Amino acid sequence: MSNLELGIIGNGTVAALIDAQATCSWMCMPRLDGEPVFNSLLGGQGRFAVRLQGLCRTEQRYLRNTGVLETTLHAADGSAVKVIDFTPRFVDRGRTFRPASMVRRIEPVSGMPAVTIELVAEKDRGGAEIPYERGVSHVTFKDADCGFRVTTDAPISYVMDQREFVLDRHVSFILGPNESLSEGVDLLTRGWLERTTFHWQDWARRLATPADWQEAVIRAAITLKMCVYDETGGIVAALTTSIPEHAAKDGEGRNWDYRYCWLRDAYFTVTALNRLSAVGTLERYMSYLRNTVAHTKGGHIQPVYGIALEADLEESIAENLPGYRGMGPVRFGNQAAEHIQHDVYGHVILGAAQAFLDDRMFNKAGVHEFEHFEVVGERAYQVYQTPDAGIWEYRGRAEIHTSSAFMCWAACDRLSRIATAVGRDARAELWRERADEMREVILEKAWNEKRKAFTGAFGGDALDASVVLMAEIGFIEPTDPRYVATVERIDEELREGYHVFRYKVADDFGKPKTAFTACTFWHIDALARIGRKEEARAMFEDVLAHRTQLGLLSEDIDTSNGELWGNFPQTYSMVGIINAASRLSRSWDQVV
């Protein structure tokens, strides 16, 4: 069992991580990237726990096709309780109701279960407890930035004193804004549970899933949806910060804050959901991109922004949090916002392209948006042969990275197609000429005849798993002997068992010690494209076997023992489940 056996609940405003013992160990308020008021995941004291006396085993599952989590705690004496957790999300009066709230219902299942409720909230990144004020049926945690109220029909004295009591009836908790509720807490939670369950099941029912691996794909899609910040359309790369990429001593460094919107990761997320016909996410993300492009200076775009388009993501270390399993440092903010990463231009245009071409859109993009996005293409054309930090965000060196170059090509290639779609034929011809010119240069400079492969950087020798994406974006035919040879070299040098490393050369922190799950999925796709479909299927089944019991994946896998590492849940990895299943599945005609 992975140490990351955590359930995820979320509604597009907030999200929470809940372990197999029903402890909410991570929740940020008042939005996905806010203050972690529950922070015990990273060694803090903040938590919302249900302790069952004599606990001997637990079970955890999602209600079918929903974001509603159910944890059952069993005691040695035969007593048991069921904990139901969710964040409300449903359509109410023509709008999506998604408050900064979490709901918890605790129900006796058998015997006379004795439980203790632990409710501790922290602020200042673990530096201090949030002071609270007790009411008749609620407790208010008072803070101007991250404060909240918990309303309950459980005995407040027992809750606040952390006193054990016999659970002889179901009790409910609503954690949310410091406001009075319009109805009784039991009635309200029952209604919200019913409507949230229906909302998720109705959303899942509309997905155009592949015939095979349906359950895995639906769970991946729901998880990705929880990583979208609905207010702006920004998409976080993961819901956590500083879960290390591998087992490490404190201070070794591969700990990052992923609660921001990498335009690269977001592109992969919307593309995966589009494959399932969940185009609503693209429409929200298109709004985010419009605003991103509108704020560019000279065409320059950061690789990552805050979920409300914050440009300054100054990185700092939280000294009061020991870190995941004591493996600090715990970082807030991300220096990558200051990096030069040229692949971002391609990901911006690729992320926006469908909005110009898909007639299902409520607000289909047109000429005005095209003219704005041309600024991005101009920048891509100018910089595709210049050094950058690359897709892996090297902090100590810059090269002309192959993946950055062909993503710049993608920007120009798609602008040509978009120009045709919006009736700008002269611009279409210009962008086609530029794309063709760039392609010839990249094919020449990225190919290493001695290595018989496209290498990670122009003129370099080192392999990089990201170069296989050139077939996915249409830069090269998968039947091209150079592409086939590149996949074979990566197979030989970067693959261990069924897992693929990003690269194996030393970076700013030494040599990588874990495989990067997104690269494994990219390799699965590449193998299928070059005709090794059964091998791709075997790799996919192996990755699925490494998911948590709830069907989730983090960023990295330790190839020596299969343990999950890295921030959680990782959108890159969940995207891979959808893409691989879509490529490798039988058609519905073969199944029905």
User: Buried (b) or exposed (e) across 540-572, using 16+ Cβ within 10 A?
Assistant: bebbeebbbebbbbbbbbbbeeebbbbbbbbbb
Q: What is the DSSP string of 229-247?
A: ETTTTEE-S-S-B---SS-
CA distances from 83 to 24, 151, 181, 271, 282 (A): 11, 16, 22, 35, 34
Question: Which tokens in the block code for residue 286?
Answer: 């298109």
Closest by Cα among 591, 579, 587, 490 to 543: 579
pLDDT at 363: 82
pLDDT at 250: 53
- Please give the backbone phi and psi of residue 394, each rounded to the nearest 5 degrees, phi first: -60, 135
pLDDT 10s per residue in the chain (592 long)? Answer: 458 999 999 999 999 999 999 999 999 999 999 999 999 999 999 999 999 999 999 999 999 999 999 999 999 999 999 999 999 999 998 899 999 999 999 999 999 999 999 999 999 999 999 999 999 999 999 999 999 999 999 999 999 999 999 999 999 999 999 999 989 999 999 999 999 999 999 999 999 999 999 999 999 999 999 999 999 999 999 999 999 999 876 556 789 999 999 999 999 999 999 999 988 898 899 999 989 998 777 779 999 999 999 999 999 999 999 999 999 999 999 999 999 999 999 999 999 998 998 888 888 889 999 999 999 999 999 999 999 999 998 877 789 999 999 999 999 999 999 999 999 999 999 999 999 999 999 999 999 999 999 999 999 999 999 999 999 999 999 999 999 999 999 999 999 999 999 999 877 777 888 999 999 999 999 999 999 999 999 999 999 999 999 999 999 999 999 999 999 999 999 999 999 999 999 999 998 8
The residues, ordered by sequence, that sit 6+ positions from 190 with a Cβ below 8 Å of its Cβ are none
Side-chain half-sphere CA neighbours of 396 within 13 A: 5
**How many CB atoms neighbour CB 340 within 10 A?**
16
The residue type of 45 is Q
pLDDT at 224: 98
CA 367, 369, 372 angle in degrees (round to 5)? 110
pLDDT at 2: 59
pLDDT at 1: 46
Question: Which tokens in the block code for residue 208?
Answer: 């155009």
pLDDT at 72: 98
Domain ranges of the chain: 6-182+196-203, 206-591
CATH class of this structure's domain 206-591: mainly alpha
